[in-house]
Structure 1
Amino acid sequence: MLRLVTTSLSLYCQRAQVTTLLLTRPNSSSVHEENLVTVDALYDLSVDLSKVRKVKGWVLRQSPVYVSEAAALLRDMGASGPVIACVLELHPEAILCKPEQMEAQKKLWMSVCASQKDLVGIIEKFPASFFSSSSDHDNQKANIVYFQTLHLNKRIISKLMASAPQSFSRPMKQNEEMIQTLQKTYLDLGGREDNLKIWLQKLLTQNPYVLLKPPEVLRENLTFLRDRGFTSNELLRLLSKLRGFVTELNPESMRLTLSYSQETLECTEAEFREVILQCPAFLYYSVPILADRFNGLLTAGISMGQIMETPTVIELTTQIVQYRIQKLSSFGYDVRTGSLEVLNGTKKDFEMSYGKLRLRRERPLFNPVAPLRTED
């Protein structure tokens, strides 16, 4: 109860302060231009206006606005007060959307969301994706229909709409062209028809922005890699591992990083191709990043031969490598002579490997429950 009273008093004082500023400082343009009705309505919703002013202050000077309508829409879908406040703080432009526009968006999104609760969860994380321009509505609808014809999971479609709204705001034909290019590439490289949908879903989930790239980028990058000696089967493995990140690359950047890495590792073309297949990160890390990580590993006493055997260690930052090496050395494990596999993986993976290794090292040399052998 005391907390509620304190919060209410705080909001009252903030509102009073703004009102005083409006009355006593008429020549202050930044405050004077604010829509007092908007400010008051947002305060009633416990919105932190300092955050709004810092990034999107211009919204507070607009008219007309639909604060109560936006809040009512979210509340009717089950959003709590704090969630509504959070949404309006992250994306205050929501109050500029007309009520009919909001309702149209709700109807559209519910065609790919399992429940209103799921939709509220999406809006909380990606409010700008929901409260979008009305001019995008037709494109959004056409794209939803198109992705449904691909028999993609509804959850996948809603995730795409939330994380990469630009893909749904543009004409459907552009997405169709890229999807068809991806499908054809996958099959031409030897991918199985019955696995195509699963492969496409994984690719779009892990890198939804792949749709925003021109199909020519994918073709150019694959041509470059083929010229480097990669077979169709190997290119398919890379495309599956990179999950579409191959569209973020370009031949010139890959040429620089591959040249540097191969020269540093002092290996043959065939050996280096195998390294890349194990660790595609060598394709997209810049030369400065690679140089920093190579130096960090070498400083720790790790040899190039060890890196060749476990190239994925290059995916770890120098700070993470140093921390893990120190933790392993605390009970006698020397990475200079042991396998680097124990360094790899996520934090959870490392902790599990570390625990198993430590348990193995500390296990008694004899079985305490086994019967002792005695001479007759």
Structure 2
Amino acid sequence: MLQRQILLFLRPISRCAPLPVTSRPCSSKPSKHEPPQENESLLENLSIMGVDLPSARRRQPGVLRKLLTNETGLAHFLKSKGADQETVASIISRFPRSITRSCEHLEERWRLWRNVFKSDREVVEILSRSPESFFRSSDNRNLEENISFLMTLGITAKDLHRLLTTAPRTFSNSVALNRNMVDFLKSVCLSFEGEDPERFARTVISRNLYVFIRSTNRIRANVDFLSRSLRLSNAEALVLFQSHGAQILDVSHESLKKNFESLRTKLRSLGCDDADFKRMILNYSLVLFISSERLNEKLVCLMDGGILVQQIVHKPKVLDFSIDCIKQRLRDLNALGYDFQKNGIAVLDMSKKRFLAKLERLSSAENEDTRSV
């Protein structure tokens, strides 16, 4: 019997046949104080398939107590799309509820995803990284309606990819709820006398994929707070919220206010005025993600390394790097006698590849100067 189950799982097939859902005899009814027992037959099947049972039990324990599941049909379906045994086992281990989906449901959902993605292989790769994105919702009709709505809005295929993989809960929302968010974003644009509210909404969504899984109240509070506290003109607000500012619209309002006040207080203590603070936020508002403790540590590190606070105000993206990265770059540049007052600090927020190339050029120039002397 055991050999037959293994051969059945490993046998290559071309499609997911409409297999009957596995049925198992019911155990005796548990007492009021005893939790339902796990289905031993299901555990045996999953173990044969290579599923990490402790992981599955930790993530979704209720699935292991179900009497009706479709683990064999799921395995056959995924294998028919190009997944190997290890990938199938990993998907079930990380999202056990996947074994409750029927073959008909899987076929339909795959069809909908293939309307967005180019190949079965691409979908399999996404499932192997994030099984939740595919299996979390069981409502295929809602998924189809949401995809249609977002495409009508003008959301690009690339952004649909990102939404499905990064913020899959977007497609668990009702279309009405997602439409409400879009209408709200349009109203934000109009409140700042913007001329293209639909484009504004598309841009915010593209830059912040999580807006659909946040409340309009949170985003409204953050928009109002930033525009009022920074005394933004309409033009400044439109530019900010369609650029890096879109990425901070969904953060906790209390966290945003706390980090905002902490940064303003710190800059004032360093001799900056409110105009400097506003300039820093308009240059790179993502500094508001940084906690007050980490912010202080980075500012002190940069200033100890010879950087002026006004240089940081104009190039705040340098604060995005880890403290260890900042320290190492300062050591490397100071060892070569780099003059930050003369050359600026743009070198500090380069990518790793570009920074190493810059160091190599600076080192070569220093060696040539030494030889000429």
| TM class, shorter-length | 0.7 to 0.9
Question: 1:238 maps to what in 2?
Answer: 240
Q: Check whether the contact 2:336–2:362 (CA below 8 A) recurs between aligned residues.
A: no
TM-score by length of 2: 0.77
CA shift digits 1:75-133 (9 cap, x unpaired): 11121222212212221221122333323322332332322222222222221121234
Match of residue 172 from structure 1? 175
Evaluate the alpha carbon distance shift between residue 86 and residue 253 of structure 1 in structure 2; reply closer, same or farther with a 3 A threshold: same
Kindly report which structure 2 residues correspond to 1:134-283, keeping only aligned pairs within 5 A, or say none.
134=138, 136-186=139-189, 189=192, 193=196, 197=199, 203-227=204-228, 228-239=230-241, 240-248=243-251, 250=253, 252-253=257-258, 255-283=260-288
> Which amino acid is the alignment partner of residue 238 of structure 1?
L
Deviations 1:210-258 (A, max 9, x none): 1122334333333333333222222222211233422325373355234
Q: Deviations over 1:7-50 (max 9, x none)?
A: x9xxxxxxxxxxxxxxxxxxxxx9x9443332332233333334
Deviation string 1:52-76 (CA, Å, 9 cap, x unpaired) is 3454454333322211111111111
- Please, which runs of 5 or more residues in structure 2 have no aligned partner? 1-5, 7-33
Aligned residue number for residue 53 of structure 2: 49
Bigger relative contact order (CA 8 A; separation at least 6): 2
Distance, in Å, in 2 between the alignment partners of 1:269 and 1:331 is 36
Counterpart residue number, 2:9: none
Is residue 98 from structure 1 mapped to residue 102 from structure 2 by the alignment? yes
Cα separation, 1, equivalents of 2:160 and 2:83: 22
User: What per-residue deviation string (whole Å, max 9, x for no partner) do you get for residues 305-335 of structure 1?
Assistant: 4323433222222221111112223333355
Instruction: Give the partner amino acid of 2:42.
Output: T
Q: TM-score, normalised by structure 1?
A: 0.77
Write out aligned runs for 1:106-125 (5 A).
Answer: 106-125=110-129
Q: Tell me, what secondary structure is at the counterpart of 2:68?
A: coil
**1:249–1:353: structure 2 CA closer, same or farther, 3 Å change rule?**
farther
Answering whether residue 359 of structure 2 is matched by residue 354 of structure 1, we say yes
Query: In structure 1, what residue type is equivalent to 2:220?
Result: R
**1:325 touches 1:335 (CA, 8 Å); kept in 2?**
no
Query: Following the alignment from structure 1 to structure 2, what is the Cα–Cα distance between the partners of residues 155 and 305?
Result: 38
The alignment partner of 1:298 has SS state of: helix
- What letter corresponds to residue 240 of structure 2 in structure 1? L
Q: CA RMSD in A?
A: 3.2
Change (3 A) 1:53 1:159: same
| Count of matched residue pairs | 335
Given that 2:170 and 2:178 are in contact with CA atoms closer than 8 Å, whether structure 1 keeps it comes out as yes
CA distance in 2, matches of 1:277, 1:133: 38
SS in 2 for 1:138: helix
Q: Is the 8 A contact 1:56 1:92 kept in 2?
A: yes
Structure-1 separation of matches of 2:54 and 2:342: 56
Q: For the Cα contact (< 8 Å) 1:34–1:61, is it kept in 2?
A: yes
- C-alpha change, 1:352 and 1:230, in structure 2 (3 Å) is farther
Q: Counterpart in 2 of 1:4?
A: none
Matches within 5 A, 1:324-343: 324-333=329-338, 335=340, 339-343=344-348
How far apart, CA to CA, are the structure 2 residues paired with 1:277 and 1:249? Answer: 20
Structure 1 unmatched ranges of 5 or more = 1-7, 9-29, 368-376
Check the 8 A contact 2:279/2:314 in 1, yes or no.
no
Q: What secondary structure does 2:82 align onto?
A: coil
Alignment-mate amino acid for residue 213 of structure 1: R
3-state SS of paired residue (1:217): helix
Task: Report the CA distance shift for 1:133/1:182 in structure 2 as closer, same or farther (over 3 A).
Answer: closer
Select the residue among 42, 58, 66 that pairs with 2:70: 66
Percent of aligned pairs sharing the same letter: 26
The answer for the alignment partner of 2:320 in structure 1 is 315
Larger Rg: 1
